[in-house]
Amino acid sequence: MPEVNTGDAGAPERHEGGCVCGLLRYTVHGEPTRITVCHCTWCQRRTGSAFGVAAVFASDRHQLRGPYRTYRHRSDESRRWLDLAFCPNCGTNVGFTLEWVPGIFAVDAGTFDDPSWINADDHPFRYIYLSSAQTWSKPPDGSECHARHFRV
């Protein structure tokens, strides 16, 4: 008989992730409140890519394990802070917290062990700061798109 994992009835789904060297790990419980795909120039630089993908969780549904450091960035526009959490050994940025939106932890979605559990059918995706998106990075047709942030 193949082994069937029936899961933990009633317990929220949990997902694990971490940095590339394995020193810094995290667990999230339940579903993200939203997925934000941010094309601002700052996310392009902090990720070294075309955009940042943040899966947003309530802080009490996210636990970091292992040593980590934070880097505080202040927005040029709003002067509000944003703390990047990263592994002190390999430098992977596993997420961030924001002065603007207290009580959440935004997980950098590519750091999940298996990021494929996130998908646009089950989770609300927002594509933001498309005013600074690169021509070689376009959201899928039909996406919720904003030239800047969805809050402004």
Q: Distances from the Cα of 90 to the Cαs of 16, 27, 34, 47, 133, in angstroms? A: 18, 19, 28, 14, 28
Binding of residue 23 to Zn ion (CB under 5 A): yes
Binding of residue 109 to Zn ion (CB under 5 A): no
Amino acid residing at 73: H
Task: Please report how close the Cβ of residue 17 comes to Zn ion at its closest, in angstroms.
Answer: 12
Task: Give CA–CA dist 82/70, Å, rounded.
Answer: 10
Nearest partner of 27 among 111, 91, 96, judged by Cα: 111
Q: Which of residues 69-108 bind Zn ion (CB under 5 A)?
A: 87, 89-90
Task: Please report how close the Cβ of residue 99 comes to Zn ion at its closest, in angstroms.
Answer: 15
Task: Give CA–CA dist 77/74, Å, rounded.
Answer: 9
Could you say which of 28, 37, 38, 118 contacts Zn ion (CB under 5 A)?
38
Task: Please report how close the Cβ of residue 129 comes to Zn ion at its closest, in angstroms.
Answer: 6
Q: Distances from the Cα of 110 to the Cαs of 19, 77, 139, in angstroms? A: 10, 27, 17
Binding of residue 145 to Zn ion (CB under 5 A): no
CB under 5 A: which stretch of 34-42, 93-101, 115-123, 130-138 binds Zn ion?
34-42
As a residue count, the chain comes to 152
Task: Please report how close the Cβ of residue 128 comes to Zn ion at its closest, in angstroms.
Answer: 7
**Where on the chain is the footprint of Zn ion (CB under 5 A)?**
19, 21, 23, 38, 40, 43, 87, 89-90
